[in-house]
Structure 1
């Protein structure tokens, strides 16, 4: 995971430097520009930090080794939902909220309700029903 972490950590450093340079050249008077660049650095940094945590937790993977074979990574890959309709409900709530931005504010109420139901169902999918733990 070191390579994946560096793919995101190197742009983090670049965007921090770019945001600082942008702020210096604009005399810190244009708030949107340097703040957006710093937020971009923050987003890259969060993903890089996550990959660095995964590297510490899981150690070296077979694909990280120079002499790794395809068969070294055989076996169980994780726990995945066999089927789920909840992402579709959550996406419908998100789509309805974008419609609310374009049409009228009152559509945001059913969008929030639908999105909350979809998120709740997806998070607690393995807590009840056929796939309960």
Structure 2
């Protein structure tokens, strides 16, 4: 995590330096490049800051930063992945219908939204169990 944090600070510093160089080179007459590089610098600093805050909240040294650590120290549960869900297919098809509607007509966007909302709700609540299940 410490290495990724340093890479974020390095990227942010480089993008900030290049924003200044780009602005001076063009006498700040073309603002799009300066804005893009500044946003890139802010993105790098934001990621590095998040990693810094997260690293400080952890107890002790994270396994990836321990020079004597073993690969098995990081092993753990990566989460639950649905083996046979059809909801992503319907969500992708209805989202494609929305984006196709942006080129063809707004009526197709409305039709795609009509199919996207149930597909999204179905995918989110697919494994929701209990007395208040849908």
The alignment's TM-score, normalised by the length of structure 1, stands at 0.67
| Mean Cα deviation higher: 17-26 or 85-94 | 85-94
Partner residue of 1:71? 72
Change (3 A) 1:90 1:70: same
Q: What is the distance in 1 between the residues matched to 2:54 and 2:115? A: 33
The alignment's TM-score, normalised by the length of structure 2, stands at 0.67
Change (3 A) 1:54 1:21: same
Structure 1 residue ranges (4+ consecutive) displaced by more than 6 angstroms after TM superposition: none
After TM superposition, the structure 1 = structure 2 runs for residues 9-88 of structure 1, keeping only pairs within 5 Å, are: 9-59=9-59, 60-74=61-75, 76-83=76-83, 84-88=85-89
Change (3 A) 1:63 1:118: same
Shift of 1:12: 0.9
- Structure 2 unmatched ranges of 5 or more: none
Larger Rg: 2
What SS does structure 1 have at the residue aligned with 2:69? coil
- Structure 1 unmatched ranges of 5 or more: none
More helix by share: 1
